[in-house]
Amino acid sequence: MQMPKRSSLFFTIALLIFYFLSIISRFMSHQLSNQQLIQIADEFGTPVYIYHAEKIADQYKKLTKAFKKIDAKFFYACKALTNINILKWMKHLGASLDCVSITICIVRRYYGK
């Protein structure tokens, strides 16, 4: 079996990361009650987005474990979600960023990679 070119492998892995992060909400191990959601909305206003950092880390670990036998570098497709805290979390986990526009490159510079 021939290995894909490195650039296409990076693109494929970036898409996989996006896919895993996009389905996280379906598999959250902890759900917030209506009362907790109302309290969060009262404190932070709406719209408000809530992310499960531990689940993101778990999914990223599964991804890196699945590709541990090859020399793979993982890129988060930040076009999908440019929340700076998610970008910092992905950096903390070991992912790089996949940038497709000048705006994303500016975000990347702030992100520190």
The 3-state secondary structure of 43-82 reads HHCCCCCCCCHHHHHHHHHHHHHHCCCCCCCCEEECCCCC
57 domain-assigned: yes
Q: Tell me how far CA of residue 37 lies from CA of 45, 46, 78, 102, in angstroms.
A: 11, 11, 26, 35
Higher pLDDT, 94 or 71: 94
56 domain-assigned: yes
Query: What's the CA angle centered on 23, arms 78 and 59, to 5 degrees?
Result: 75
1 domain-assigned: no
44 domain-assigned: yes
Residue ranges making up the domain that contains 71: 6-26+34-111
To the nearest whole number, what is the mean pLDDT of the chain? 76
103 domain-assigned: yes
55 domain-assigned: yes
Beta-bridge partner residues of 75: 96
72 domain-assigned: yes
pLDDT digits (tens, 9 = 90+) for 40-55: 889 989 988 888 898 8
Q: Tell me the whole-structure pTM to 2 decimals.
A: 0.61
50 domain-assigned: yes
Q: Is the pLDDT of residue 60 over 90?
A: yes
Q: Determine what percent of the chain is predicted with pLDDT higher than 70.
A: 67
Structure confidence at residue 59 as a pLDDT band (50, 70, 90): very high
